[in-house]
Chains A and B, each alone.
Chain A
Amino acid sequence: MAQNVTNVSQTEEVSSTRRVIAASSVGTLIEWYDFYIFGTLAKIISEQFFPKDNPTAALLATLATFAAGFVVRPFGALFFGRLGDLIGRKYTFLVTLVIMGGSTFAIGLVPGYKTIGFVAPAIVFLLRLLQGLALGGEYGGAATYVAEHSPVGKRGFWTSWIQTTATVGLFLALGIILIIRQTIGVEAFTDWGWRIPFILSAFLVGISIYIRMKMSESPLFAKMKKEGKTSANPLAESFKQKGNLKMVLIALLGATAGQGVVWYTGQFYALSFLQNACNVEFVQSNLIISVALVIGTPFFILFGSLSDKIGRKYIMMAGMLIAVLAYRPIYTIMYSDANLKNKVEVVEKKEVKVKADVKGADSLITTVTIKSFTDGTTFKETVKKKFPIDPVAKAALAKDKMKPETKKEVTLPQDIFYKMIGLVLIQVIFVTMVYGPIAAFLVELFPTRIRYTSMSLPYHIGNGVFGGLVPLISTRLVEATRPAADLPPADPLAGLWYPILIASVSFVIGSLYISNKTNNMDVE
């Protein structure tokens, strides 16, 4: 009889565990999905809302891309973190979900610049800020909520499910965009189809809200609230008290800064490098990243679980160190394998097609050159050049507007395609090492009364600011090696120095100052 009661109790506990993890993870996953579709569709959004010939709109485009990523997220962390420590985890991360879902859905409905003019980019900019604010509040809430339900010794495993959501969210965004694009065609997608992933968010958020509404408050927070022990001013307590501030700093410099750059390099920089430095064709480059993400995702759980046994610090530091040492060799191979200079062209297979179109007062000459190589690689170059028919207009046209628009696309053969997946997968594994245990690590650094506030800020500065700046700074570093505007960069791998430097400093600080004894501690 006693055995039966124990079994029933254990079954209920497992079922409750699954509900907590599912409710938290699904919501966070959808928030990441919402956040990433904007970034992934940045080019189309820019054409729809931020025309290049309007300088204010172009400035808004840059700000929308970066501001929401790194300025607003820490503010969201502070605002919602405070709220979560005052009124509770459950209601706060329900609010962030509604804000995120609502603003994403609204982006999908905003008429373009051509229809309502400057109001369009202004609305999109504001909605993007709301997205960043919501994301800043979501992650800390979900990680805290799950961790406060977790039994001692299993916190790394439980919270690692939350850690999978950012990567799965990215995968979901890439997957949905690819499916819609392939189904309706590139032209229709660019015209109106890009709105579907945004509108779809309302459906996903609706499901998640329904699930989260049924959840109860975190047991630790509920107990603390009942006893009247909640913090009256979580912000002051988190950042004005030396004991907590020093933990916030160690979390930022010794863990989240390094984790942020490794995370962005392994996923976003890898994709950008494939598309821009290696010129790998759009669908193939996205497939390489997507497949690597799918294979790599279970490693979040593996390393989260392993951190319960051998400690968070060792795994995170190992991930940073190996990443620092391996980045340049990995990217050297990636660049070399896609570099046409290392391949032998099958000259007799070369095709050149020229097409002339007259549009209004302009004539457009499109030249498509297709080259094949002995290893199975194909290269397609499309050059579009505009010629005004009227000689007066031609003379008046600025020199830079006469420049041809060139698009280069490399399609890799199967063996190199698989090799690229392997090389990106290695980077995703670094991501899982640094990111899998980090939620449990952050949760264990701070007490329940200020946990939401204290852990959210270093996470979003590390991930959002240090990590979010990887594309901007890395691109800049590569551009600095370009001898002239129309020549290729001398060192296409120069962009890696930023993540290498930040991860190295973070590794030294983390190794020296972080304790590895936190794996089995109780959180109060």
Chain B
Amino acid sequence: MSAIKRIFGILWALMGVGIIPLVIKQAMKEIAAKPSEENWIFWSIVIVVLMPIIAFSLITFGIFALKGEYDVIE
């Protein structure tokens, strides 16, 4: 079980890293296609609030999992 937890740790960290360019690229594409106020607000919320939380928590969690910090949880 510990091995699975550690292997999945790599996945979480990669997901955390991968989400940053993915979100920014999508935001740029959509804003360029339709630079409306609504689009700006939506993507600002996603980039400033949601993305950092997801990226930071997944990367840190993934690294902890990979290092075996969650091997034994009581």
Contact = CB atoms under 8 A, between A and B. Distances in A.
Contacts of A59: 37, 41
Nearest to B41: A62
A270 interface: no
Contact of B65 (A252, A513, A514, A515): A513
Consensus secondary structure, chain A interface: helix
A469 interface: yes
Contacts of B8: 508, 512
A509 B12 contact: yes
Size bracket of the A interface: 20 to 34
Contact of A55 (B37, B46, B49, B70): B37
B29 to A, nearest CB: 12
A71 B61 contact: no
Contacts of B50: 465, 469
Given A245-B60, A246-B64, A249-B64, A512 B69 contact: no
B24 interface: no
Nearest to B65: A513
Nearest to A63: B41
Contact of A465 (B5, B53, B65, B73): B53
Given A465-B53, A512-B4, A512-B5, A250 B73 contact: yes
Given A250-B73, A512-B5, A472 B45 contact: yes
B13 interface: no
A407 interface: no
B57 A249 contact: yes
B58 to A, nearest CB: 7
A457 to B, nearest CB: 11
A461 interface: yes
A214 interface: no
A253 interface: yes
B73 A242 contact: no
A517 B73 CA distance: 9
A454 to B, nearest CB: 15
Contact of A461 (B37, B53, B64, B73): B53
A515 B25 CA distance: 38
A58 to B, nearest CB: 8
Contacts of A252: 57
A476 interface: yes
Interface in B16-74: 37, 41-42, 45-46, 49-50, 53, 57-58, 60-61, 64-65, 69-70, 73-74
Nearest to B61: A249
A459 interface: no
A250 B70 contact: yes
Contacts of B41: 59, 62
B58 A253 contact: yes
A70 interface: yes
Contacts of A253: 12, 57-58, 61
A66 interface: yes
Contacts of B58: 253
A472 B42 contact: yes
Contacts of B37: 55, 58-59
Contacts of A514: 73
Interface in A235-265: 242, 245-246, 249-250, 252-253
B69 A242 contact: yes
Contacts of B45: 66, 469, 472
Interface of A: 55, 58-59, 62, 66, 70-71, 242, 245-246, 249-250, 252-253, 461, 465, 469, 472-473, 476, 508-509, 512-515, 517
A-B pairs with the 6 shortest C-beta distances?
A249-B61, A515-B73, A513-B70, A246-B64, A246-B69, A249-B57
